[in-house]
């Protein structure tokens, strides 16, 4: 369950909002802000595990004009959903129930109940605290109209058949195998505990010998023969009877068969070192090893994909109705006509490299923006600033390269480290240094510009530029 969740959502999906106009990027930024504030990636991973274990999970959206939109996942055992009799995809009522304490006395028990219901096209909320007998103790909301014409709850089911509203649990399929596995390992531990140590064996020894015998390092044994054995010409003997583990191979075969069966049920490849012996460690062979898991995750995306698209749709509807995020012009951005594409990633290195190359080729062909590429593949927070920095570096490199190249018809001057520069090159070098001091570019960018323009190594470029300016020096010059 953990491995499948990590494979499916270990790399967070990218919500690509597309449309016309410059504000489309702002709408995508607003969505990213909401998801980040809700710790979306962490919640998504945990929700996938809950869905695999319980058969379904509920995604609830709660909003406040000042606090913004909240995304809350709820496991299957904490909610009950009622659907339309004609359409199992149409949610009519959902109840969330939480135990607030662990009291055994029903009078002292406190249970919070929250009910969302669609009545005459309006979403009505009732919320309160009850005791174990169902008596209301406290009321939070009583037939409250939250202003929405839909229930802001999305039920995500794990598999199932047509008309199934519950989904099914992956754990149930593994239950019998896990029981057999646990029993075998427990029996094996008992066998090791009681059978791995040898036993002391005494033959024809007297009772006095047995009573006085001590098992300890360096202990001496007064080995006396019984009178009956002496009369028969026998001598008392002392020895050790070691245990023979004859069941070892059979145990290993059985335990491996159970483990492989559980891996097969979940479509999770067994990537232990023993199983990978003899397998070529190439990208294609590793990808082939994960084909079943990839196919299973693609199938599950047929449920998760539309659910996440519906989540984004609900987010912007709520932002528009409640007028949230005024500082980001949330209402106007929510009204923009856009389309959404959810791009999913699996942690297979070959796939990531191919996707990066494909996206980069689109940037080169000018059918994809640099902003979109950076936003998708980089961890940079301020994308616009990064794009401006790249453009400035390209412009300055081109300008400085023209000056640095003027060497044919001009005299050269020797500076430190026996490097020969002409007048134009020295002027350009001074401009680069001034740009660093004025914080137009940083020191490392200046090093790269000089390296590219001069075709010098890193050490020489730093010798030309000198030491980075101190903070006080920068402030004085500015």
pTM of this prediction exceeds 0.95: no
**Cα torsion through 18, 23, 28, 29, rounded to 10:** 160
Closest CA to 315 of 5, 27, 118, 81: 27
Q: What is the chain's pLDDT, residue by residue, as a tens digit (478 residues)?
A: 888 888 899 888 999 998 888 788 899 999 999 999 999 999 999 999 999 999 999 999 999 888 899 999 999 999 999 998 888 889 999 999 989 999 999 999 999 999 999 999 999 999 999 999 989 999 999 999 999 999 999 999 998 788 788 888 888 777 777 777 777 777 766 666 665 566 788 888 888 888 888 877 778 888 888 888 888 888 888 887 766 656 666 667 777 777 777 766 666 766 665 655 655 555 566 677 778 888 888 999 999 999 999 999 999 999 999 999 989 888 999 999 999 999 888 877 655 667 777 777 877 777 677 777 777 767 666 666 666 666 666 655 555 545 444 434 334 443 444 555 555 566 677 777 777 776 777 888 888 887 777 677 788 778 777 777 665 444 433 3
**Beta-strand relationship, 136-145 and 153-157:** unpaired
Report the alpha-carbon distance of residue 51 to residue 1 in Å, rounded.
10
Nearest Cα to 251, choosing from 336, 180, 156? 180
Instruction: At 257, give phi and psi (nearest 5°).
Output: -65, -40
The pLDDT of residue 309: 95
Burial of 434 (0-12, 13-18, 19+ CB in 10 A): exposed
Span between the terminal Cα atoms of the chain, in Å:
58
């Amino acid at each position: 369950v953990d491995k499948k969740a990590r494979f499916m959502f270990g790399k967070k999906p990218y919500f690509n909002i597309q449309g016309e106009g410059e504000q489309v990027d702002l709408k995508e930024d607003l969505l990213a802000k909401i998801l980040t504030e809700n710790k979306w990636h962490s919640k998504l991973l945990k929700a996938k595990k809950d869905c695999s274990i319980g058969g379904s999970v509920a995604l609830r959206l709660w909003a406040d004009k000042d606090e913004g939109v909240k995304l809350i996942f709820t496991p299957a055992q904490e909610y009950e959903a009622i659907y339309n009799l004609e359409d199992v995809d149409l949610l009519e009522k959902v109840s969330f129930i939480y135990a607030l304490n662990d009291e055994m006395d029903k009078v002292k028990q406190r249970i919070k109940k929250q009910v969302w219901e669609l009545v005459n096209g309006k979403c009505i909320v009732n919320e309160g605290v009850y005791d174990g007998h169902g008596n209301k103790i406290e009321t939070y909301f009583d037939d409250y109209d939250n202003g929405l014409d839909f229930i802001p709850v999305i039920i995500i089911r794990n598999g199932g058949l047509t008309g199934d509203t519950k989904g099914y649990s992956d754990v149930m399929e593994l239950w019998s195998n896990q029981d057999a596995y646990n029993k075998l390992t427990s029996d094996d531990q008992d066998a090791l505990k009681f059978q791995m140590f040898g036993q002391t064996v005494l033959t024809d020894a007297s009772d006095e010998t047995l009573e006085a015998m001590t098992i300890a390092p360096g202990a001496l044994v007064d080995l006396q023969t019984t009178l009956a054995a002496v009369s028969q010409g026998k001598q008392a003997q002392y020895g050790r009877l070691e245990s023979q583990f004859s069941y070892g191979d059979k145990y290993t075969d059985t335990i491996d068969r159970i483990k492989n069966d559980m891996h097969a049920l979940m479509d999770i490849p067994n990537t232990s070192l023993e199983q990978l012996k003899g397998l070529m460690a190439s990208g294609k062979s590793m990808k082939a090893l994960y084909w079943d898991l990839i196919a299973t995750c693609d199938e599950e995306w047929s449920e998760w994909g539309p659910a996440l698209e519906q989540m984004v749709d609900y987010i912007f509807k709520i932002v528009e109705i409640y007028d949230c995020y005024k500082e980001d012009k949330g209402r106007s951005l929510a009204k923009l006509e856009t389309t959404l594409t959810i791009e999913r990633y699996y942690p297979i290195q070959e796939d990531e490299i191919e996707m990066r190359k494909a996206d980069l080729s689109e940037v080169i062909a000018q059918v994809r923006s640099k902003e979109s590429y950076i936003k998708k593949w980089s961890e940079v927070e301020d994308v616009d600033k990064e794009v401006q920095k790249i453009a400035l570096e390209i412009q300055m490199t081109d300008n400085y390269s023209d000056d640095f190249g003027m060497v044919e018809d001009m005299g050269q001057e020797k500076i430190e480290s026996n490097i020969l520069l002409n007048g134009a090159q020295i002027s350009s070098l001074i401009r680069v240094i001034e740009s660093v001091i004025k914080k137009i570019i940083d020191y490392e960018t200046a090093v790269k510009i000089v390296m590219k323009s001069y075709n010098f190594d890193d050490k020489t470029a730093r010798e030309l530029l000198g030491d980075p300016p101190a903070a006080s020096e920068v402030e004085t010059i500015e």
